[in-house]
Structure 1
Amino acid sequence: MRFPAETIPRAKETRLLFGGDIMLSRAVARFAHERRDPASPLRDVAPMFAAADIAFANLESPFSDRGRTMDQGMVFKAEPDMIAGLELAGIDVVSTANNHVRDCGGHGIEYTLQWLEKHGIAAAGTGLTEDAAHAGAVLERNGTKFGFLGYTYDQTNGNHPDLDDRVAMLEIPQMRADVASLLERADVVIVSMHAGIEYAVKPHPQQVTFARAAIDAGARVVVGHHPHVVQPWERYRNGVIYYSLGNLVFDQFQRAETQRGALGQVVFAGHNLERAEMIPVNIVKTVPRVAAAAAGA
């Protein structure tokens, strides 16, 4: 007598797409407003982001409805209408933990979080309280809960040191505790890491230490930002580390390397990490376009 073999249904695949630094101030805003299209910086890559189950990036400029937008300098402020590109691309979650998060003071942090929430975009890495900055964001897709945490190095342009407790810093013991806490609410944890040396094509040892510590703590993906150039990625234990995805939307025209970014793409089947790749991006007058080749593993 023969019995049919038991079939175990395969978990549905979930595709996550990670972008690099998005800065919506200075020349990015000027060009967009000259085009009369605040969504234009992300228009060309929007279909690819929108097709992902979860789309993530680092938001390098706070939104604010106060003051004027600077056309130059290192203090960033994005006009509220510039959120149109994030909406068009279907960005689901951003890290707001970076060295420009306090450029518009406490109001900028509060306004950014409220503006993102109003437009259906989750945020990780900052909050109105210290606990909120470390709580992370959880999104569920295809029956799997994905949690996001964001961290930045401790140099925030010298702006508003009184706001330190609203930003999650790159501290390994705290990160370990945050990952453990988030794993009580999420099946898979992704950590964003704003760290490294600007324009360095290889990761700094501190990047490697923090990223691998995050995987050791239970995260499955680490996404790096801040160097403004692409750095290598690696499989480490049961996770993936993108040390730097470089720029996605930025106005750094001085180097060829800052006008070439990358997207990180991973595919999960339930809790299992199935595939990962890095997709090159070319940036033309602040507008990213996906290049032809991709490197996968």
Structure 2
Amino acid sequence: MSISHKLLFVGDVVLHSKPQFSTEIQQLFRASIMRCCNVEAPLQGAGKSVDKTGPLVYQAARAAEWLQELGFNLFALANNHIHDYGDEGLLATRNSFPLDSIVGAGREEDAYGMCAKTIDGIKYGFVAYGENGYGALNGDRNVGYAWVNHPRVDRDIARFKAQVDVLIVQVHAGVEMLDVPLPEWRKRFYEIMDQGADILIAHHPHVLQGIELYKDKPICYSLGNFYFEYPSDHPQWNIGGLLEIELKDAKFHHCNLHVVEKKDVSVVLWDKERANTLLERLNDKLSGSTYEQYVDREAVTLWKKHHAQYYAKAVNGMVDYSFKGILKSIKRMVSSRKVDYNMMWHNLCIESNLWLVKRAIHRLKKGHDTP
């Protein structure tokens, strides 16, 4: 007799109120054996803020309780905000959930470990990683989140796959507010699939991205925000994805990406026609012949809008934003030790930031999109 299971995944969650799900979403939850979200921030009340570039994010002290009441039973903690309130904040948050329901954060062996669940005789394995960031376990701390480019990751994935029937990998990575993945991330995700992952699900960009089948296995590039209570004027901030994956006899059978929207404290499903229009557009961008040119143009746009300023801040507000001017200013400021090293680390060590800027500079050097 065939065994069929459904798994459900949503993207980034930061709660300051308890969400209310529409009837349709409640039905999807009831039909799924595993229901997972990315817990994007520590719970309020433990730890002290760390020294970092970017916002410090926390969520309500009762967020763990609310998420479990809503039906979630698997929690990914590998992300760039989970360590915003240090070791104490991360560990207190981790301890607020059942320890057999957490992936991606804690002390090193816990963070890089696999959560295994056996259901109807089928063994599922879940792991979660994030791109480099403040809190990544990249050799300079004992508590944090699993880093997707750590040398151990590929070996771990191959080892985990040998222990389970189905291995699901989540990765928190990508360029924020960009509706396609960088080619560098696509390449990395292919490597992860080749090591043994059966399904790969990503989040972090805060907007939806497309889905592709790689060797008949699904890669979802970004689920966007599910319920992220943090100020933003971006029109897609409250729109995300709910990914429903169906497996038959421990083999991927089908996936359905539903589009959801946060409206005040409610989360509702878009109708199929509206959702399909958006998803087709995203998938066309991902699979089209102009995909890489589109990425490079967007890289230049984001360089002009944000990243040039990030380099300016790192070296005390230089005015000349040309590549030559950046190099001269960095050299001058380093010699006088007037450098914001947190910002410089943010620019050079977080993979998405570095790869995006390299693409922008390469295009500008060719004379395209001259500022």
Normalised TM-score (structure 1): 0.82
1:172 Cα deviation after fit? 6.4
Distance 1:88 1:46, change over 3 A: farther
Local SS of the residue matching 1:277: strand
Q: Which gives a bigger RCO, structure 1 or 2 (Cα 8 Å, sep 6+)? A: 1
Q: What CA RMSD, in Å, does the superposition of the two structures yield over aligned residues?
A: 2.7
Maintained 8 Å contact 1:154/1:170? yes
> Could you tell me which residue of structure 1 aligns to residue 321 of structure 2?
none
What's the % identity of the aligned pairs? 26
Equivalent-residue separation in structure 2 for 1:285 and 1:68 (angstroms): 29
Equivalent-residue separation in structure 1 for 2:114 and 2:261 (angstroms): 31
Greater shift after overlay, 146-155 or 48-57? 48-57
> Could you tell me which residue of structure 2 aligns to residue 268 of structure 1?
247
Equivalent-residue separation in structure 2 for 1:230 and 1:170 (angstroms): 21
The reply to whether residue 117 of structure 1 matches residue 95 of structure 2 is no
Equivalent-residue separation in structure 2 for 1:96 and 1:229 (angstroms): 19
**CA displacement, residues 20-56 of structure 1 (integer Å, 9 cap, x when unaligned):** 10112xxxx1xx2xxxxxx3x2533444324311111
> Could you tell me which residue of structure 2 aligns to residue 292 of structure 1?
271
Maintained 8 Å contact 1:42/1:85? no
Local SS of the residue matching 2:109: helix
> Could you tell me which residue of structure 2 aligns to residue 3 of structure 1?
none
> Could you tell me which residue of structure 1 aligns to residue 257 of structure 2?
278
Equivalent-residue separation in structure 2 for 1:116 and 1:155 (angstroms): 23
Decide which structure has the larger Cα Rg and report it. 2
Task: Map 1:149-228 to 2 at 5 A.
Answer: 149-156=127-134, 162-163=140-141, 166-171=144-149, 173-228=151-206
The residue type equivalent to 1:82 in the other structure is: A
Greater shift after overlay, 55-64 or 13-22? 55-64
The reply to whether residue 52 of structure 1 matches residue 43 of structure 2 is no
The reply to whether residue 106 of structure 1 matches residue 87 of structure 2 is yes
1:184 Cα deviation after fit? 3.5
The residue type equivalent to 1:135 in the other structure is: G
Equivalent-residue separation in structure 1 for 2:48 and 2:60 (angstroms): 8
Local SS of the residue matching 2:168: strand
Maintained 8 Å contact 1:265/1:278? yes
Q: Which runs of 5+ in 2 are unaligned?
A: 281-371
The reply to whether residue 255 of structure 1 matches residue 246 of structure 2 is no
> Could you tell me which residue of structure 2 aligns to residue 16 of structure 1?
7
Greater shift after overlay, 148-157 or 95-104? 148-157
Equivalent-residue separation in structure 2 for 1:286 and 1:155 (angstroms): 30
Structure number having the greater helix percentage: 2
Maintained 8 Å contact 1:102/1:109? yes
Q: Which runs of 5+ in 1 are unaligned?
A: 1-8, 33-38
The residue type equivalent to 2:45 in the other structure is: D
**CA displacement, residues 64-110 of structure 1 (integer Å, 9 cap, x when unaligned):** 433799xxx82122233122331122111121000001112111121
Equivalent-residue separation in structure 2 for 1:286 and 1:164 (angstroms): 37
Equivalent-residue separation in structure 1 for 2:228 and 2:198 (angstroms): 28
1:142 Cα deviation after fit? 2.3
Maintained 8 Å contact 1:191/1:222? yes
Equivalent-residue separation in structure 2 for 1:21 and 1:187 (angstroms): 27
Normalised TM-score (structure 2): 0.66
Equivalent-residue separation in structure 2 for 1:265 and 1:253 (angstroms): 27
Equivalent-residue separation in structure 1 for 2:159 and 2:82 (angstroms): 24
Local SS of the residue matching 2:62: helix
Structure number having the greater strand percentage: 1
Equivalent-residue separation in structure 2 for 1:172 and 1:52 (angstroms): 32
